[in-house]
Structure 1
Amino acid sequence: MTALPLWRRAIAEGIGTGLLVTVVVGSGIAAASLSPNDVGLQLLENAFATALGLAVLILMIGPVSGAHFNPVVSAVDWWIGRRSGAGLTPRDLAAYIPAQIIGAALGALLANLMYDEAAVSWSTTDRSAGHLWLGEVVATAGLIVLIFALAASGRASIAPAAVGAYIGSAYWFTSSTSFANPAVTIGRAFSDTFAGIAPGSLPGFVIAQVIGAAVGVALVRLLYPAVGRAADEVVVPHTPASTGASP
């Protein structure tokens, strides 16, 4: 196989992450408009759209970049695969993470503009509380275990449906509504709507997500000791950066 150029994979990650935030924020705005007096229904509409949108985006972008759309997933992919020569390289990681964060911010702007909102309206939704941080630890750990368990057991091809289903359900079983993604968390701060998070709440959520990722790594290594060799299959099978022409 010939490796796809890094710039193309990074752009794919930016586009995929941006469109994911557009789905999250856009469906949140629509839900608040369509069901203004029922927060539970708003959450259901937001979760349903996010689960389906995420699955579709993984199918679209996965063959190009792996469809990480998430800095902690990319970081864990590098960490787990580094000894076996699989997964992302440090150079890949340095391109993926900024692309994901920039894409997330632009995705929020796009959603705002589609609904005739200000391009940037900083969220005022405070989410600074210990039980919400615990929810983020649980949500992120579960996501990491799911993704890397699928790769290690040769079932990465079902990741679009599995990851979408997990995030859709985690909207409901976690206290934080499962952000589980630092880039998406940052992007959601750009919109003062149903799906937003106040900028002041970002550090607590991101720290909790990093802790959750570490917990997830420990669990997946316990359950699948040889997971490092499957790092090229995260999130879905794609052209590994370590083969073919250099980016």
Structure 2
Amino acid sequence: MQTHLERFIRFLAAEKGLSTAYQLSVRQTLEEFARFLETEDTGLAQAGIDTLSAFLRHLQDRGIDRSSMRVEMVHLRIFFRWLAGTGILEKDPSAFLEMPRQGLSLPHVLDQKTVSNLLESIDVQDIPLGCRDRALLEMIYACGMRVSEIINCKLESFDKDEAFVRVLGKGDKTRLVPIGRSALDALQMYLEKGRPKLVRTGTKNHIFLTVRGRPLTRERVRQILR
């Protein structure tokens, strides 16, 4: 696994342009996973969803909190998606792993059913604003992203093929965030049908735009949610 790990880290640096700190964080996760595979006497090619679930339980047993576990599983999903994409593995077992949610960026009193009702209440056939708002809230909820991160996302940050978005967070730290199927579908619909109708002369390359073609603000996102 070490050879693949080194190739992957070079991929993050050269092709994704991710920071040294992020590379180190990913390396630490993958090295810990490699040690786990050794204790389980399992090779990388044999690692399936059961192995990943066992690793998650291993992290829980060590007392790692949900937020930290999510970060480690994001690193693994990026790694396995790369392994499958380069043909090293035939399939990506992490695609079927349900990751622990980081927590809702919407008011915490809303439970999952309420949030689902909120998302479903948005008319995605309302082009462009309905499909924009659905994509916006799907991304906030499913990806665990801060509002400031969402409104600053740009087109070049979105990798459609790999279903990831590059996020610049606190302390100017860059990370890759996987996009779930529902959020990905909503985002693609918005980019194909909604955003082109919002673009104006001088519009920048931010993903989410106002009716005047400007980047959304934090206050506007709060208004949309209300």
What TM-score, normalized to structure 1?
0.24
Q: Between Structure 1 and Structure 2, which shows a larger proportion of helix residues?
A: 1
Specify the structure having the higher radius of gyration (Cα): 2
Greater strand share, 1 or 2? 2
